[in-house]
Amino acid sequence: MASGSNKLSLKTRGILYLCCVVVSLMVIEQIFQGCHSLEDKEVHPPTVLIAFLVRNKAHTLPWFLGHIEKLDYPKNRITLWIRSDHNKDNSSEILEEWLAGVQHQYHNVDVIINSKRKGYSDERSTNDWTKKRFKHVIKLRQQALEMARQKWADYFMMLDSDVIIENNRTLHLLMQQEKTIIAPMMNASIIGYYSNFWGGMDKKGYYVRTKEYIQMVDLKIRGCYKVPMVHSIFLVDLRRSATDFLAYSPSPPKYKGPYDDIIIFAHSVKAAGISMFVLNTQYFGKVMVPLDWQYSLSDERDQFTYVKLEAMVDGPQLYRSPHVYVPPTPQSKLGFDEIYMINLLRRPERRERMVHSLYDLGIDAKLFDAIDGKNLNDTFLDELGIDMLPGFADPYQGRALTMGEIGCFLSHYTIWEEVIAKKYEKILIFEDDVRFEPYFKRKLYHLMDEVDKLVPNWDLVYLGRKRLDRDSEKMVENSETLIWPSYSYWTLSYMLSHRGAVKLMSHKPLHRMIPVDEYLPILFNKHPTKDWMIQFEPRNLVGLSAEPLLLYPTHYTGETNYFSDTEESTAVPKDDWTGQQITTIW
C-alpha cells in the first residue's frame, strides 16, 4: 500500500508539474503579446526635416507658412531648416515674426536670416537667375541635405517658399507610397501645363514635354508615376541607403548639363540608381509659374493674387498664418465713378467669395442687392408697367420670360437709373458668379486706356460674355484689347458710360421686356431675330468687348456647383402678357 501510495503521489506531482508549465507558458505568451501590442502603439511617426529658402516672397509667405502650420503631422517630429537672404522686400521680417509665434511647437528650427544682402550684383531683376544666384542656391540646398543626414532625419522635404500645400495630408500620403523620392503633383498657379515635374528629359538635361505629362496634369490618368524630374516640393526617404549618394554639389561624374540646381540633383538621383515619382491621385495645391527676368516683384504679386482668387472658386480661402501681420490691401474705384457688384441676398456664399476677391484685387465695389425674382408678384409687375416684348420666346426653350430674368433685368435697370440720376460718367458692373483672369487689373487699365483713345464715344464694353458668333467679329483697328462684338449672351461684367445708360433707358424697356442679355445686342444692332430688333429704334448703342475676355463664369452648365437663378425655377400660369395666355417661370 505504501509503495502504491507513493506511485500515485508521483503521478499527481507529474500532472501538477505539467499543468504549471502549461500555465506558465500561457502567462508568458500573454505578457509577450501584451508587450508587443503596447510597443506597436508607442511607435512614433518618422522624423522629417523640411527645408526651404526664402527670397522676395513677402507676398506668399503668410499663406505659405499658414499651410505649413496646417500640415496634419506632429510638429514635434518636424525640424525646420530655413535660410533667407538677398531680399528686396520684407521677407526677413515676416519670417522672424512667424518664428516668434511657432518656433516652440517644432522639434527644432535651424534658421539663418541675412537682412544685409540686397540682391545679386549681376542680376537684372529679382527674377533673374544669374550664375551667382545658382551657385548660392546650390550651396544652400546641399547644406540642407547634409543637415538632414546629420540630424538622422527619416525624411527630407525640399520645398520652395511659393508652393502652397493645400492638402494637409500631403506628408502622410507621400510616405504611404514607400518611394525613395516622391513629389505631390502641384497645379499651375495660372492657366497652362506647368507643374513641379517633367515628363521627359533630353540627353543634355533639358525639358521634354510628353503625351503622358499632359494626361497626368489633366488628370486623365491618376496614380504614382515614374518621372525623370521632380522639383519645388518633394520628399526623400533618407532611410534608404542609396540616398547617401545624392547631392546638389558636387555634380555627378561626367555631368556636362546646365548649371541648375534641379537638373544637377535629378542627374545625381539617376547616377545613384534611384527613380523619382510623382503622385497625382488627389489635389495637393499650387506651384507658382516662374517668371523671366523681364518681370518684376509686382508681377509675382499679381500672379499670387490670382492663386488666392482661384482657391475660392470651389473651396475655402487660402489659410493665412495668424502669427503674421498682413497690411490691408489699398482699395480703388479704378477711375470709375462707381463699381457695382450685383448679388442676391439668398446667395451669401457667392457674396462672400466676391467680397474677398474684389478686396484682394484692390477693387472698391458697392454691393448691390439684386432684385429677387422669387419675391416678385403680379401686383408689383403691374405697378411698374412691366410687359413682355410681343413675340418673345426663349431661343432655346421656347418659353416666356422667367421671374428670375425679370429680377435680373430690373437689377441692371436700377443701376442704369442711378447712373443717370447721379450723373456718373462711367461705371463698372460685376455679377457675383465671375472668375477673374490672371493680371485682371493691369489688363483692365490697358483696355480703358485703349477705349478712350480709339473709341472715345463708347457706350458699353463687355469684360465677360458668351460669344455666339466669334467668326464674324473684328478687332478694333490698332487695338490689342478691343473687338466689335456680335450677338452675345451673359452680363457677367461690363463698363457703361453715362451716354450708354441714357440710350438703354430711352427705349422704356420695362414695357417690352426681354432678358437683359438679349436686350443689349439688340441695341448695338447685332441680334439675329429681326422681329425683335425692329421694335427698338434707334439701335445706336456703341458696344465693344474685351478681347481676350477679362473674366468668365465660375461654372458652366453641367459642371458641379453650377446653378442659375434666372432659368431654373418652377412654372406658374400668368395670363396678362400682351393679353395672351403665357406660361412664365417663377
Q: Which domain holds residue 161?
A: 48-287
Residues 500 and 576 reside in one and the same domain: yes
The grid coordinates listed for 228 are 525623370
Residues 278 and 368 reside in one and the same domain: no
pLDDT at 581 over 60: no
pLDDT at 575 over 70: no
pLDDT at 451 over 80: yes
Q: What is the 3-state secondary structure (H, E, C) of 458-503?
A: CCEEEEEEEECCHHHCEECCCCCCEEECCCEEEEEEEEEEHHHHHH
Beta strand 474-475 with 482-484 is antiparallel
Residues 229 and 367 reside in one and the same domain: no
In a 13 Å sphere around the CA of 441, the CA atoms on its Cβ side amount to 21
Which pLDDT belongs to residue 211?
Answer: 94
Strand order in the sheet with 488-497: 366-369, 338-343, 426-431, 488-497, 460-467, 543-546, 482-484, 474-475
Which pLDDT belongs to residue 367?
Answer: 98
pLDDT at 520 over 80: yes
Which pLDDT belongs to residue 3?
Answer: 47
The number of domains in the chain is: 2
pLDDT at 1 over 60: no
The three-state secondary structure class of 383 is: helix
Helices 91-102 + 61-69 axis angle, to 10:
20
Strand partners, 278: 183, 225
Residues 264 and 362 reside in one and the same domain: no
Residues 126 and 198 reside in one and the same domain: yes
Alpha helices in 332-439 (DSSP H): 348-361, 378-384, 403-421
Write out pLDDT tens, residues 182-219: 999 999 888 789 999 999 998 878 899 999 999 999 99
Mean pLDDT over 321-325 rounds to: 98
pLDDT at 31 over 80: no
Which pLDDT belongs to residue 29?
Answer: 62
Going by C-alpha positions, the residue among 194, 197, 204, 172 that lies closest to residue 183 is 197
Query: The CATH number of the domain where 133 resides is what?
Result: 3.90.550.10
Going by C-alpha positions, the residue among 75, 236, 275 that lies closest to residue 154 is 236
**For residue 20, what are the contacts with CB-CB under 8 A and spacing of at least 6?**
none
Chain centroid to Cα 272, Å, comes to 36
Residues 68 and 215 reside in one and the same domain: yes
**Is residue 325 in some structural domain?**
no
Which pLDDT belongs to residue 521?
Answer: 97
Write out pLDDT tens, residues 328-387: 999 999 999 999 999 999 999 999 999 999 999 999 999 999 999 999 998 999 999 999
Helices 440-454 + 297-314 axis angle, to 10:
110
The CB density around residue 43, as the number of other CB atoms within 10 Å, is: 7
> Please, which pLDDT band fits residue 565 given cuts at 50, 70 and 90?
low
Residues 273 and 410 reside in one and the same domain: no
Which pLDDT belongs to residue 40?
Answer: 57
Which pLDDT belongs to residue 585?
Answer: 34
Residue 100 burial (10 A CB sphere; 0-12, 13-18, 19+)? exposed
Query: The CATH number of the domain where 448 resides is what?
Result: 3.90.550
**Is residue 309 in some structural domain?**
no
> Please, which pLDDT band fits residue 397 given cuts at 50, 70 and 90?
confident
The three-state secondary structure class of 174 is: helix
Mean pLDDT over 535-564 rounds to: 86
Q: Does residue 584 contact residue 567 with C-beta atoms inside 8 Å?
A: no
> Please, which pLDDT band fits residue 571 given cuts at 50, 70 and 90?
very low
Question: 6 vs 102, which has greater pLDDT?
Answer: 102
The three-state secondary structure class of 179 is: coil
> Please, which pLDDT band fits residue 156 given cuts at 50, 70 and 90?
very high
**Is residue 547 in some structural domain?**
yes
Residues 512 and 434 reside in one and the same domain: yes
Alpha-carbon distance of 17 to 440, in angstroms, equals 89
For cell 515614374, name the residue. Answer: 226
CA geometry: angle 438, 118, 156, nearest 5 deg = 70
Which pLDDT belongs to residue 33?
Answer: 60
Chain centroid to Cα 38, Å, comes to 44
Mean pLDDT over 52-56 rounds to: 98
Rg over alpha carbons for the chain, rounded to the nearest Å, is: 33
Which pLDDT belongs to residue 579?
Answer: 38
**Is residue 65 in some structural domain?**
yes
**For residue 110, what are the contacts with CB-CB under 8 A and spacing of at least 6?**
79, 80, 81, 82, 147
Residues 271 and 406 reside in one and the same domain: no
Cα dihedral across residues 468, 470, 471, 475: positive or negative: positive
Strand partners, 78: 48
pLDDT at 576 over 50: no
Q: Is the pTM of this model over 0.85?
A: yes
Amino acid at 37: S
Percent of the chain predicted with pLDDT > 90: 82
Residues 279 and 360 reside in one and the same domain: no
Residues 246 and 384 reside in one and the same domain: no
What is the average pLDDT value for the chain, to the nearest integer? 91
**Is residue 24 in some structural domain?**
no
Alpha-carbon distance of 139 to 126, in angstroms, equals 19
**Is residue 312 in some structural domain?**
no
Taking CA atoms, 498 is separated from 335, 338, 457, 502, 513, in Å, by: 14, 12, 11, 6, 22
The three-state secondary structure class of 166 is: coil
> Please, which pLDDT band fits residue 388 given cuts at 50, 70 and 90?
very high
Identify the weakest region by mean pLDDT among 245-249, 313-317, 453-457, 488-492. 313-317
Which pLDDT belongs to residue 192?
Answer: 83
Mean pLDDT over 489-493 rounds to: 97
> Please, which pLDDT band fits residue 583 given cuts at 50, 70 and 90?
very low
Which pLDDT belongs to residue 204?
Answer: 79
Residues 153 and 279 reside in one and the same domain: yes
**Is residue 379 in some structural domain?**
yes
Taking CA atoms, 222 is separated from 185, 187, 216, 225, 430, in Å, by: 10, 14, 7, 9, 37
Write out pLDDT tens, residues 223-249: 999 999 999 999 999 999 999 999 999
**Is residue 3 in some structural domain?**
no
Mean pLDDT over 123-151 rounds to: 97
Count of H helices and E strands in the chain? Answer: 15, 27
Q: Does residue 105 contact residue 74 with C-beta atoms inside 8 Å?
A: no
The domain boundary residue, chosen from 287, 305, 327: 287
Chain centroid to Cα 527, Å, comes to 37
The grid coordinates listed for 515 are 432678358
Alpha-carbon distance of 12 to 113, in angstroms, equals 81
The three-state secondary structure class of 169 is: coil
The 8 Å CB, 24+ separation contacts for 267-270 are 267/205, 269/181, 270/228
Alpha-carbon distance of 174 to 177, in angstroms, equals 6
Alpha-carbon distance of 321 to 61, in angstroms, equals 9
